[in-house]
Amino acid sequence: MASRLSIRNTKADDGKRIWRLAVDSGRLDVNSSYCYIMLCDYFSDTCFVAEIDGEAAGFVTSFIHPLNPELLFVWQMAVAEEHRGQGIAELLLHHLMESESCKKVRYLETTVSPGNSASRRVLSKLSERIGTSMVISKGYTSALFPEGKHEEEPLIRLGPLQKTSIPTS
């Protein structure tokens, strides 16, 4: 039987599955389970889960900047190890960018540590594919994090985005 991929907005009860994906990713700063439940509930219009045959295969959490409706900040994105390399991260971002909630979005921002090469590749590929710039700037230095034990988190900005520039496949 062929596997079926579906992508949908999150609900509060997706929080624990998304938390588990974040933990298992080995690449993300894991937030409290409460944080994921809250994101999946309060920001469900800009948070998506990818499922294969009903099992969580990946997620993206994000929000529209409260003072700038043209700016989308991607908080986290992860794909389960057994589903990596299948384009699920790109599909999640495409789904997000094409959602009704993002119709005014012209810029996508996120912070990605230098050690997270997979996320950097996804963003670079997306930037090339839609023909927009990807600019990396200072973001958050390691000194901002407790005890200075955290990698810096440079800010990555894609844009300007145009709805007609986001391919469907």
pLDDT in tens, 41-51: 999 999 999 99
pLDDT by residue (tens digit) across 90-139?
999 999 999 999 999 999 999 999 888 889 999 999 999 999 999 999 99
Q: State mean pLDDT over 70-98.
A: 95
The pair of structure tokens assigned to 55 is 């099992």
Residue-wise DSSP of 12-70: GGGHHHHHHHHHHHSSSPP--HHHHHHHHHHTGGG-EEEEETTEEEEEEEEEE-TT-TT
Q: How many domains is the chain partitioned into structurally?
A: 1
User: Which residues make Cβ contacts (< 8 Å) with residue 115, sequence separation at least 6?
Assistant: 27, 151
Which residues span the domain enclosing 9? 5-165
Domain containing residue 28: CATH number: 3.40.630.30
- Mean of pLDDT over the chain: 92
